[in-house]
């Protein structure tokens, strides 16, 4: 739903009193902007009052309200007020609105992300402590976590989680991803009371995790689970020099302490202390800083973190790094170890400058809170080198591994030799676009806060990839031209330098990695967020750089065969940032994002501008429906069993999941929307994401699609990808998943309800004796098994 509500001109007097004339388009003069920022409190209060006045029109009922969560004023003078939706004073999870107060006082509400009429059913029987305990218990932690943060919320059933498959590269098949799957019964009501529980874990036994749960306040069931770990004395400023492995010779924004020594801390970027260090460590560190992990200690695999981290500080000279790849332990804190720190510190500062100079934003949260970088991290569970980098919102810092490309000199094999390097592995993940990528996850936390799963998760990842590419371009700007992002300087590849075997992602043609999607399709949200980002990356490239009309070119899109002209990196960047900071909300889909980006472009360049037309064309090029454009064909699966596990939340992924007994025959059914030709072709198996890509084809058989339109599943457990494509427009397709379970738990060669006896007995068994009489080969028996029996029997043999 998108409702734009224009306010009365009642606020004009306020603006005029401030001496600010209504302006359209570009940045305001500094004095006018300062005056508007000084009025942020009053302007946001007006916005809030207006939103409250409009509540009935927005569908809000008794007990529901909108409350201001975050306020900022753009360089153009628009005050943006992000509004939480509440019921009885508690936030409605995943539901929010945005109010815009223009310089002339006009008001607008963006309600794309609002889920009104949210009165929850049921009662709140758990305490916050119980909810936190349930979340912790489900983690089966071996070490300690930080104290969970618990918030009572109203939870929409449409956001309930479900089953997730993952690719087992050893077994070469899809298996259940137990860490991300949820087995709770579907909610019968549209909204329920719940607790949001956030748990940060940072220890040797469990690694670094930043987990987010929603726990049903009535039943204790976990309704949603995400890992928010988004991968990849006052000192004085003292500019130094450094050699990075990727950045080369660069200026280093360092600091000089009272004793005359130097540190990788930048007091010129960051005005508020890092919240983790001030909150948990009692250290007030203001100004971005870079740390390392030393790995000292008697046990070479003991990478206990605290006490072994160090600051790059205490140096007599303000010269850093040797520009060479990391040589491994024990060089973390010497000149070679400084090299990765130089790259990370440089990337952090450059990205900070791009936010400041292009987007008018002070740091990732807009108020100057200090982030940090930590290099040389290892996998805290295995002690091995780490092929990843990540942002942790809870710690407000980003972490970089050194990759597995080189042999690991710390861990030895049975013969005492260093563990062989991985030819497909990475080197230190401190390349500029990776650094900007991770920092931009923090930016995302402070703007649209796109939820890290499904389509919104792909958009979140795309934002980071986009910012990484833009940071590369920004780094190439001519001296003195800080106010624009050049059109050159980026290769539109993610991690091209830090992975010798090839880039991590290809923004121009994402499917070149054999995992990512090039365009939107039904079922895109099944992909890992690093691959569902593909269409948005490609869309942004088209918007900035254009698309070819040559079918042989990798920038060609069959959805716009004549190609398009790009509007340049700088304009595309400003439009995108405005969209994520002023329009997009946490659960945005690609289609909603398209609307948000169109709105942002219209704000900056006018409704009828070439820039708006380019945005529409770029989204069309990735098969996203843009409002007002000709309707695209869409293939959809009907919701089956509206009383059962699949149908309760038709907006959720479970609506496209079928659970059935293996070997059964079922009717295949799909519809083509917006077209009279309803013919559909079916494909079973293959790669999630690309109907024609056989890389994930299952060698052990995927059953038979019969001539009568039915599918006979093979006699084995497993996940199967079902793709229905429009026969007339094969580019239009939708993918669902089938989980075939083996109900024959009593091994009598027949699947039936009697098999539940054996499974129930497994449930009865003392833990140490539990046989694995699970219909999906679970390692133990739990409610999920009862769920699977009920679902599979109902779906295949239930009432029709």
Establish if 67 lies at the interface with another protein (CB under 8 A).
Answer: no
Count of positions on this chain that bind another protein (CB under 8 A): 66
Q: In this complex, which beta carbon is closest to another protein, that of residue 148 or of residue 510?
A: 148
Task: Please report how many Cα atoms fall inside a 13 Å half-sphere around the Cα of residue 467, on the Cβ side.
Answer: 30
Beta bridge partners of residue 636, listed in sequence order: 671
Single out the segment in contact with another protein by CB under 8 A; choices: 89-97, 124-132, 162-170, 417-425.
Answer: 124-132
Please report where in the chains the tokens 């006979």 appear, as a residue.
712
The string over 707-716, giving b where at least 16 C-beta atoms fall within 10 Å of a residue's C-beta and e elsewhere, is eeeebebbee
Which of 591-599's residues contact partners 24+ apart within 8 Å by CB, and which partners?
A: 591/624, 591/625, 592/2, 592/112, 592/113, 593/459, 593/536, 593/624, 594/619, 594/624, 594/625, 594/626, 594/627, 595/2, 595/112, 595/626, 595/627, 596/110, 596/112, 598/626, 598/627, 599/110
Contact flag: residue 526 with another protein (CB under 8 A): no
With CB under 8 A as the contact rule, which of the stretches 318-326, 498-506, 612-620, 743-751 interacts with another protein? 743-751
Tell whether residue 794 is a contact of another protein (CB under 8 A): yes
Residue 137 in the binding site for another protein (CB under 8 A): yes
796 binds another protein (CB under 8 A): yes
Cβ partners under 8 Å of residue 757, min gap 6: 746
Task: State yes or no: residue 786 binds another protein (CB under 8 A).
Answer: yes
Residue 640 engages another protein in binding (rule: CB under 8 A)? yes
Q: Note if 530 is an active site residue.
A: yes
Separation between Cα atoms, residue 592 and residue 532, nearest integer Å: 15
DSSP letter string over 569-615? HHHHHHHHHHHHHHT--TT--HHHHHHHHHHHHHHHH-TTSHHHHHH
Residue in 438, 455, 461, 664 annotated catalytic: 438
Whether residue 438 lies in the annotated active site: yes
| Nearer of residues 333 and 723 to another protein, judged by Cβ | 723
Would residue 655 be called left, alpha or beta, if left means φ above 0 and alpha means ψ between -120 and 50 degrees?
alpha
Q: Of 606 and 771, which has the nearer Cβ to another protein?
A: 771
In the complex, minimum distance from the CB of residue 187 to another protein, in angstroms, rounded to a whole number:
10
| CA–CA distances in Å: residue 721 to residues 105, 654, 658, 691 | 52, 14, 10, 10
Cis check: omega of the bond before 155, within 30 degrees of 0: no
658 part of the interface to another protein, by CB under 8 A: yes
Structure token pair of residue 486: 């050049």
Q: Is residue 760 part of the contact set for another protein (CB under 8 A)?
A: yes
Identify which of residues 310 and 682 has a Cβ nearer to another protein in the complex: 682
Instruction: Please choose, out of 108-116, 474-482, 539-547, 762-770, the segment that lies near another protein by the rule CB under 8 A.
Output: 762-770
Measured between alpha carbons, how far is 520 from 559 in angstroms, rounded to an integer?
11
State the DSSP string of 368-408: -BPPEEEEEEB-TTT--B-S-EEEETTTTEEEEE--SSS-E
Cβ closer to another protein: 1 or 754? 754
Stretch that binds another protein, among 311-319, 332-340, 608-616, 662-670 (CB under 8 A): 662-670
Question: Other C-beta atoms within 10 Å of 434: how many?
Answer: 32
Query: Which among 189-197, 282-290, 685-693, 760-768 is the span making contact with another protein, rule CB under 8 A?
Result: 760-768
Q: From the candidates 530, 582, 592, 687, which is the catalytic residue?
A: 530
Q: Is 705 in the site for another protein (CB under 8 A)?
A: no
Do the strands 265-266 and 230-231 form a parallel or antiparallel pair, or are they unpaired? Answer: unpaired
Which of the residues 217 through 256 are near another protein (CB under 8 A)?
A: 218-221
Interaction of residue 135 with another protein, rule CB under 8 A: no
Contact segment (CB under 8 A) with another protein among 89-97, 349-357, 533-541, 782-790 equals 782-790
Which parts of 184-213 interact with another protein (CB under 8 A)?
Answer: 185, 188
CB of 384 to another protein, least distance (A): 35
Question: What is the Cα gyration radius of the chain?
Answer: 27
**Which CB, 410 or 635, lies closer to another protein?**
635
Q: How far is the CB of 572 from another protein (least distance, A)?
A: 37
Please report how close the Cβ of residue 114 comes to another protein at its closest, in angstroms. 29
Among 183, 172, 205, 176, CA closest to 779: 176
Q: Rule CB under 8 A: is residue 110 a binding residue for another protein?
A: no
Q: Which residues bind another protein (CB under 8 A)?
A: 125-126, 130, 133-134, 137, 183, 185, 188, 218-221, 637-638, 640, 643, 656, 658, 660, 664-670, 708, 710-711, 722, 724, 736, 738, 746, 748, 750, 752-761, 763-766, 769, 783-784, 786-787, 789-790, 793-800
Kindly list the catalytic residues.
Answer: 438, 530
């Amino acid at each position: 739903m998108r409702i734009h509500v224009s306010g009365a001109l009642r606020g004009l007097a306020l603006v005029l009193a401030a001496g600010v004339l209504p302006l359209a388009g570009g940045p305001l003069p500094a004095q006018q902007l300062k005056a508007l920022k000084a009025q942020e409190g009053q302007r946001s209060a007006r916005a809030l009052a207006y939103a409250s006045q409009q509540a009935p029109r927005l569908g809000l009922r008794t007990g529901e309200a909108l409350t201001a969560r975050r306020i900022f004023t753009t360089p153009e003078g628009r005050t943006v007020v992000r509004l939480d939706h509440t019921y009885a004073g508690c936030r409605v999870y995943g539901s929010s609105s945005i109010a815009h107060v223009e310089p002339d006082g006009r008001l607008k509400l963006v309600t794309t992300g609002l889920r009104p009429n949210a009165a929850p059913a049921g009662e709140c029987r758990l305490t916050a402590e119980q909810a936190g305990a349930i979340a912790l218990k489900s983690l089966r932690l071996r070490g300690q976590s930080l104290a969970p943060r618990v918030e009572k919320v109203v939870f929409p059933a449409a956001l309930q989680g479900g089953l997730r498959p993952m690719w087992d590269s050893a077994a070469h098949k899809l298996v259940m991803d137990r860490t991300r799957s949820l087995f709770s019964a579907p909610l019968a009501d549209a909204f329920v009371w719940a607790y949001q529980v956030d748990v940060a874990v940072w220890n040797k036994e469990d690694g670094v995790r930043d987990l987010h749960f929603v726990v049903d306040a009535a039943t204790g069931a976990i309704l949603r689970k995400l890992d928010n770990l988004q991968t990849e004395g006052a000192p004085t400023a003292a500019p130094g020099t450094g050699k990075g492995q990727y950045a080369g010779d660069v200026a280093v924004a360092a600091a000089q302490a009272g004793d005359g020594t130097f540190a990788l801390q930048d007091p010129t970027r960051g005005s508020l202390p890092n919240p983790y260090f001030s909150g948990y460590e009692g250290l007030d560190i203001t100004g971005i800083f870079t740390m390392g992990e030393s790995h000292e200690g008697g046990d070479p695999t003991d990478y206990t973190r605290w006490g072994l981290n160090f600051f790059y500080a205490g140096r007599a000279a303000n010269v850093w790094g040797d520009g060479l790849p990391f040589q491994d332990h024990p060089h973390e804190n010497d000149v070679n170890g400084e090299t990765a720190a130089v790259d990370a510190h440089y990337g952090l500062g450059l990205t900070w400058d791009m936010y400041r100079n292009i987007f008018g934003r002070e740091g990732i949260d807009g108020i100057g809170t200090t982030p940090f970088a930590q290099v040389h991290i290892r996998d805290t569970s295995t002690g091995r080198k780490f092929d990843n980098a990540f942002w942790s919102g809870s710690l407000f810092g980003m972490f970089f591994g050194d990759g597995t490309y080189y042999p690991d000199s710390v861990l030895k094999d049975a013969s005492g030799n260093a563990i062989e390097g991985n030819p497909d592995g990475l080197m230190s993940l401190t390349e500029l676009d990776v650094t900007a990528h991770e920092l931009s996850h923090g930016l995302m936390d402070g703007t649209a806060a796109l939820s890290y799963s499904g389509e919104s998760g792909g958009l979140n990842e795309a934002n980071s990839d986009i910012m990484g590419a833009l940071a590369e371009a920004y780094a190439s700007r001519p001296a003195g031209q800080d106010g624009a992002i050049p059109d050159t300087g980026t290769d539109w590849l993610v991690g091209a330098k830090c992975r010798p075997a090839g880039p991590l992602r290809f923004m121009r043609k994402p499917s070149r990695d054999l995992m990512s999607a090039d365009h939107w399709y039904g079922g895109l949200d099944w992909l890992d967020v690093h691959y569902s980002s593909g269409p948005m990356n490609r869309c942004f490239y088209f918007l900035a750089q254009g698309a070819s009309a040559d079918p042989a070119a990798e920038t060609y899109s069959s959805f716009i065969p004549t190609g398009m002209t790009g509007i340049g990196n700088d304009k595309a960047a400003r439009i995108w940032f405005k969209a994520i900071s002023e329009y997009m909300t946490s659960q945005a889909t690609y289609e909603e994002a398209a609307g948000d980006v169109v709105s942002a472009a219209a704000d900056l360049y006018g409704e009828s501008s070439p820039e708006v037309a380019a945005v529409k064309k770029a989204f069309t090029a990735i098969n996203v429906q843009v409002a007002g454009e000709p309707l695209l064909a869409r293939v959809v699966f009907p919701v089956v069993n509206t009383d059962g596990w699949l149908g309760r939340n038709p907006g959720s992924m479970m609506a496209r999941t079928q659970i059935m007994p293996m070997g059964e025959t079922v009717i295949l059914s799909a519809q083509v929307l917006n077209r009279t030709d309803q013919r559909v072709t079916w494909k079973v198996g293959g790669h999630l994401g690309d109907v024609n890509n056989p890389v994930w084809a299952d060698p052990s058989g995927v059953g038979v699609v019969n001539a009568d339109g039915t599918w006979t599943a093979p006699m084995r457990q497993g996940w199967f990808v079902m793709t229905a494509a429009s026969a007339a427009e094969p580019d239009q397709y939708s993918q669902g998943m089938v989980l075939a379970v083996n109900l024959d738990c009593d091994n009598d060669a027949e699947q039936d309800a009697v098999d539940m006896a054996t499974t129930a007995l497994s449930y009865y068994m003392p833990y140490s004796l539990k046989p694995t009489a699970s219909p999906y080969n679970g390692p133990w028996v739990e409610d999920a098994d009862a769920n699977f029996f009920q679902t599979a029997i109902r779906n295949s043999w239930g009432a029709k």
